[in-house]
Chain A
Amino acid sequence: MSVALESSRRVTLLETLDRVLSKGVMIDGEITISVADVDLIFLGLKALLASVETAEKLRREGPRGRMAEGVP
């Protein structure tokens, strides 16, 4: 895989997670099992997210705005 393609995929993944996890409609009455954790991630993170699991790890390490640095 070329570096450019890899970078492009990382950006796409980041953009996808940024939207899917932090935007969109929320409805009263949803069961928010574990979703509260997802929200917490985005309160402090704005980071390069390789995965939700990685985001959890980053959150435990402490919130840092690393998104911009992570963008290739």
Chain B
Amino acid sequence: MKPSRPYLYCIADGPGSPILRGRGLRGADVASMPFGGVWALWSEFAGAGDFMQGDVMAHEAVIELAMTHSAVLPMRFGAVFAGAEAIRRALEGRHPQFRAALDRLAGKVEVGVKVLWKAGEVKEEIRTGGPKPGAGNGGANGHAPGTNYLLGKFREHLLARGLEERAAGVAGQIHGRLARCASEAQVEILPTENLVFAGSYLVGREELEGFRARFERIRAGQPGLRFLYAGPWPPYSFAGAGEPGGEEPGSTPSTQWPWRPRAHLARPWLCTSGRRRGGCGESGSCRCV
């Protein structure tokens, strides 16, 4: 039988709630460990190394329940510790970061927006409207096979660059408008060819309605694109208070807007973050149009 170890769900601004009893992984009771005004919500878990889909859902469910009572810093799934003492050491060692992050995230939730297009159609537009390598000198057909190969590679490169630039343009417009209604925002541009961008937005609970209204207005004005709206979520994308080598809360991200397209599509994990003060205005509509 595998040894039971503590599994950590989140760092919270409160001691949790009796409703978390029996709601942990595999039905375990969720306990809370206090340290200097922050709490670690955890449970015993004997299945380390053997996670199942239900465990992922239970992880999320515990954090969602916890966030109805207090600010939370959600852990990435799979945070197993050697023992309760290891969790206590983590709380002790990172207490200032946890405290600052909880204060920063209090009353806020994360919203995800994804915008999709049909990359094949966009490429066709670029192909028919863009420069034609080889045009004006007889075209590729008149060249040796090696030259044709290189011209083909050049066309692929132009196409990839064209797609990146268009995605950056769309993201700059749509993500920019959404980010102005959020406390903080991140964007990942063209993670796949059909996904123009995936944005995450930290939004005050009382501003959610206005943010959603803003989203719907933008969607209505872009009939050629598909939109996905997801949330509210625990602030997974904005809780980076403990990542080794990661950004400390509130730090300036390494990549700034405007985004510059790169020469290839490999892992464009590009983020930008806009911070703004104040809310989205009253009557459910953002004033930062």
Contacts and interface: CB of A to CB of B under 8 A. Distances in A.
Grouping DSSP codes into helix (H, G, I), strand (E, B) and loop, the B interface class, with mixed when no group exceeds half, is mixed
Nearest to A12: B230
Interface stretch (B19-27, B73-81, B150-158): B73-81
**Most chain-B Cβ atoms within 10 A of its Cβ — which of A11, A15, A27?**
A27
B76 A26 contact: yes
B191 A46 contact: yes
A25 B75 contact: yes
A20 B75 CA distance: 8
Interface residues of A, number: 33
A69 to B, nearest CB: 6
A3 interface: no
Contact of A67 (B51, B74, B191, B239): B191
Interface in B185-201: 191-195
B243 interface: yes
Contacts of B74: 20, 23-25
A30 B82 CA distance: 7
Given A34-B50, A51-B53, A46 B192 contact: yes
Interface in B25-53: 48-53
Contacts of B119: 68
Contacts of B288: none
Interface residues of B, number: 52
Contacts of B243: 25-26
A5 interface: no
B76 A25 contact: yes
A55 to B, nearest CB: 9
Given A25-B241, A26-B244, A27-B242, A68 B75 contact: no
Contact of B237 (A16, A23, A28, A32): A23
Contacts of A61: none
B116 interface: yes
Interface string B238-252: 011111101000000
Contact of A33 (B48, B52, B75, B116): B48
Contact of A16 (B60, B86, B89): B60
Interface of B: 5, 8, 10-11, 48-53, 56-57, 59-60, 73-82, 86, 89-90, 93-94, 110, 112, 114, 116, 119, 191-195, 226, 228, 230, 233, 236-237, 239-244, 246
Interface of A: 11-12, 15-17, 19-35, 38, 46, 51-53, 65-69, 71
